[in-house]
Amino acid sequence: MNLIFIFLLFGILSVLDAAAWRESKSFILKKDELVKVLIKSEGQERVLNFRWTLYKDKVLVVHESFDRFVGQHMLYATHANKSFRKVLLPAKRSHKDIPYVIVLFKKFDEANATAQMDLFLIDTEKRIVLDYLTQK
């Protein structure tokens, strides 16, 4: 009985540790509606932009830019590839302290032609401050 309790306790603690994001925000976006997030870190400010341009066959095409680098991602509503990850700063001591954001495609509302996307900040060292420039 005690052994089962210990395994359950470790399982619950590992699940709680897996939810390591420090901040999250949800967006409901129409086509080409731009999200701007100001990334403040270590004396510098940079902007992360993303928007979706096409939804077809349960695939959302998302364009993003950060630090003058642009990217395009195909996010699937029904498969494992529902998100993209953007590294914000290099590691200081180990790869575990790299701050990054994850943008997750949650669902598409076909009646309103809007996509729900969530942004999660993972930053264990608290090196990043986010300022949402999009007024939603």
Mean model confidence pLDDT for the chain: 85
94 or 100: which leads in pLDDT: 100
Asked whether residue 4 carries a pLDDT value surpassing 80, the answer given is no
Within a 13 Å sphere around the CA of 29, how many CA atoms are in the beta-carbon half? 31
Q: Please check whether residue 30 lies inside any domain of the structure.
A: yes
Residue 128 contacts residue 89 (beta carbons within 8 Å): yes
Read off the pLDDT of each residue in 94-120 and give the average, rounded to a whole number. Answer: 93
Q: Please check whether residue 6 lies inside any domain of the structure.
A: no
**pTM of the model as a whole:** 0.80
Q: Please check whether residue 3 lies inside any domain of the structure.
A: no
Q: Please check whether residue 10 lies inside any domain of the structure.
A: no
Longest dimension (CA), the chain: 57
Q: Please check whether residue 87 lies inside any domain of the structure.
A: yes
* Count of structural domains within the chain: 1
Q: Please check whether residue 11 lies inside any domain of the structure.
A: no
Asked whether residue 23 carries a pLDDT value surpassing 60, the answer given is yes
Which amino acid appears at position 94 of this protein?
S
pLDDT band for position 95 (cuts 50, 70, 90) = confident
pLDDT of residue 75: 96
pLDDT of residue 13: 42
* ∠ Cα 130 121 99 (to 5°): 95
Read off the pLDDT of each residue in 104-122 and give the average, rounded to a whole number. Answer: 96
Q: Please check whether residue 12 lies inside any domain of the structure.
A: no
Asked whether residue 85 carries a pLDDT value surpassing 70, the answer given is yes
Q: How do residues 42-78 score in pLDDT, each as one tens digit?
A: 889 999 999 999 999 999 999 999 988 999 999 998 8
Q: Which domain holds residue 98?
A: 22-132
pLDDT of residue 134: 77
Asked whether residue 27 carries a pLDDT value surpassing 70, the answer given is yes
Asked whether residue 80 carries a pLDDT value surpassing 60, the answer given is yes
Q: Please check whether residue 70 lies inside any domain of the structure.
A: yes
- Rounded to 10 degrees, what is the CA torsion of 112, 35, 127, 13? 10
Residue 46 contacts residue 53 (beta carbons within 8 Å): no
The CATH number for 39's domain is 2.60.98
